[in-house]
Structures are given as structure tokens and as C-alpha cells.
Amino acid sequence: MGGDYPKNGRFGRYGGQFIPETLVPAVKELERAYLKMRKDRSFKDELGALLADYAGRPTPLYLASNLTKKAGGAKIYLKREDLLHSGAHKINNTVGQALLAKRMGKPRIIAETGAGQHGVATAMACAVLGLKAEVYMGSDDIERQKLNVFRMKLLGAEVHSVASGSRTLKDAINEALRDWVTNLRDTYYIIGSVVGPHPYPVMVRDFQSVIGSEIKRQMKAKEGRLPDAAVACVGGGSNSLGTFHPFANDRKVRLYGVEAGGTGKGKNAAVLVEGREGVLHGMMTYLLQDKYGQVSSTESISAGLDYPGVGPEHSFLKDSGRATYVSVSDDEAVKAFHLLSRTEGIIPALESSHAVAYAVKLAGGMKKDETIVITLSGRGDKDVQIIAKRAGLEI
């Protein structure tokens, strides 16, 4: 856990705490607790044991030789976060925050979710640590992610349907924030990505940086050097920032964040490609917004990328030029979903399929002795019905 800590909560001009006065005490309490716990040996040991014995870390780094041959260029490695308990990288963060909440004496946990993976991972962390979980989810996302909704309920979580606004992740976050303001004394809000008011962006990044740290060790063991490029999908941006952050000072490693291009201009969630600065959910960052500054509706086949903002550290990485951000369309993501399934026998989440689609194109223009790592952030079980429906099939 760790790395640089922005004491003022800012990554350049981005980040901060744009919150109502009623939330200030809770955010300050959280920051004090986190600063204490990130130095606490017993906290680190307990978290490490949970990540190893419960979540399943370290995850493998797999040389996708068939996909490499198909791409016709650089060697492609897959960081297999899809093999974690819960089926996605989200468990790295929920176990960390739930453990922090328990040590803070907060027995009730609330969370928001889009694709449902963060909700499932929150429910799992709460079950193993003896905490009560309640999850807010947009009604549209509930409809397209029924399997994950059922999994949350099986794990003992209460799921609140949010029918306001776009009925997706943005609105689920709004409702979770309202709940938190009302129940500060006994409630801890586990934010699922590197978004929100400080210290959430840095805290979630730290919990997810285990991904990039493992990649560094594994690539040195397998190739004797660091990768030439790292590619990950970006919604809020936790799996990508967890991948990128440990490479921040390794300038020879090129970093690529892949956003949801949806169905085209104005119908996407490509925040860093098409957005501009604004304030949302307690942070200054890039947003998709209209000419009046109103937050725009987003569109993506992947619920986990369907968010009009992005983590503030990603905005800083874009402006500084340390990372490059691109977008991949729904159609391209679906093709990559099928490609990886058929070439490697690995069914990726639609979110991760965006990264796969771009990485295959990138690899094709690179030398055969170069290497790319794709962070496969989650598995695709949850998306099979979406793919089937798109093909006109009933399952």
C-alpha cells in the first residue's frame, strides 16, 4: 500500500473536496483513520492475509500466445484479475476499506455499483468481516446485471434500486452520498473507484496498486525487464490506476487507458477523450457535459464504464502526458470479447474487452520482442446475457 500521498488532496489542479459542510467531519475522520492505518503493521498484515487467503492474490500473469499470434506483433500478457474471488479487481479495494471501517467502529456499510462487481465484492467483504452491507444501483443497471444483483442478495446485502436521472452509476453514487450524510455516526461509504472527495481517490488507488506492483515483479521474473506498454480499461479508473501507479516513474513503460466509445460521438463514456474540466461527486476532474455545464448522459454496452466522470489522478496523467487515453466502440469491444474467448478460452468482462480491443491493435504495430500487459479486470460471466441478447438469442 502506498506511494505518494497528496496532502492537499490534489493531483495538479484536479481532486480536492467539493462537498457540503455536513460531510466535512466524516471525510476528515476517514482521512485521519486511513493515514494511521497505512502505517499500521497489524492492519497491513491482516489485509495482506485476506488478499492472499480469501481474495486469491497474487493473480497470474499469463502469456496469451494465441492472441499474440493473432495480433502479429508484441507479446501480449494478461494480468488475470478475473481469477480473483468475486471475479474482478474490485475485491482488492472492498476488503481494504471494509477492514478500515471495522477498525473505525462503523458496522453499516453502503456502496454504489454499476456493473455489479463492486456491489458483489462489497457484499463479500462485509460477510467475511461481519458487517452489514447495503448497495445502491441504478434501475437500468439492475436490469442488465441481474446475475450480480442476485449474487449480492445471496451474500446478505440489501440492494436499493435508483430510478432517478439516467438510472445508472452516476445516480447510484448520488443516492449513496445522500444516505451517508444522513447516517454518518455508524455508516461507512465504500466508494468503488478512484473518484469522489479526497482521500477516496488516493485510498482506492493505494489498495488497487497491488496490481501494478505484482506486474512489475512478474514481468521481471518472466522477461527480465518491465513491459513496454500497459493497457487497462477506464471508467472511474481504479483497475487502470492500480496498474499505472507503480509504473509512474518508469518512463519507458507506456501507459494506455481505454474508455468506452459507445456508439459514437455524443453517445459514449469517453470522458478523457471528449470531456472537459468540471466538478462532480466531490472532485474536480474531466467530465462529459453540455455547453451549459450540465452533466451529459453516457452510453456504453459495459455498465462498469458507463460514468460521466473519471478519477482526478487520471485527469492529471492525461494533462501531464504520462498516460495516453483512447476510446473503443461497443462493436469493437464485443469483437474483442469473442476474440479472447475463442483464442485463449478466457471470457472477459465487457469492460476489460475494451482494453483487449485496443491492445491487439497496439501490439500489431510493435516489434515481436516487445511486450504488452493487459489488465484483465474481470471475467465475463455477468455479460453473457448482454452478448446473447445482442445476437438475438435467449438464454
Residue 10 grid coordinates: 490534489
**Closest to 307 measured CA to CA, from 354, 265, 358, 270:** 270
Q: Specify the pLDDT at position 3.
A: 57
Which residues form the catalytic set?
90, 112, 377
Q: Cell 459507445 belongs to which residue? A: 262
pLDDT band at 2 (very low <50, low <70, confident <90, very high): very low
Identify the three-state secondary structure at position 30: helix
Cα separation of 329 and 272, whole Å? 15
Alpha-carbon dihedral angle through residues 3, 8, 9, 11, given to the nearest 10 degrees = -70
Amino acid in the structure at residue 345? G
Lowest-confidence region among 110-114, 309-313, 327-331, 344-348: 110-114
Q: What is the pLDDT of residues 38-96, one digit of tens each?
A: 999 999 999 999 999 999 999 999 999 999 999 999 999 999 999 999 999 999 999 99
Burial class of residue 369 (count of CB atoms within 10 Å of its CB; 0-12, 13-18, 19+)? exposed
Reported pTM: 0.95
Q: What is the pLDDT of residues 109-151, one digit of tens each?
A: 999 988 788 999 999 999 999 999 999 999 988 988 888 899 9
Average pLDDT estimate for 4-13: 89
Cα separation of 377 and 233, whole Å? 8
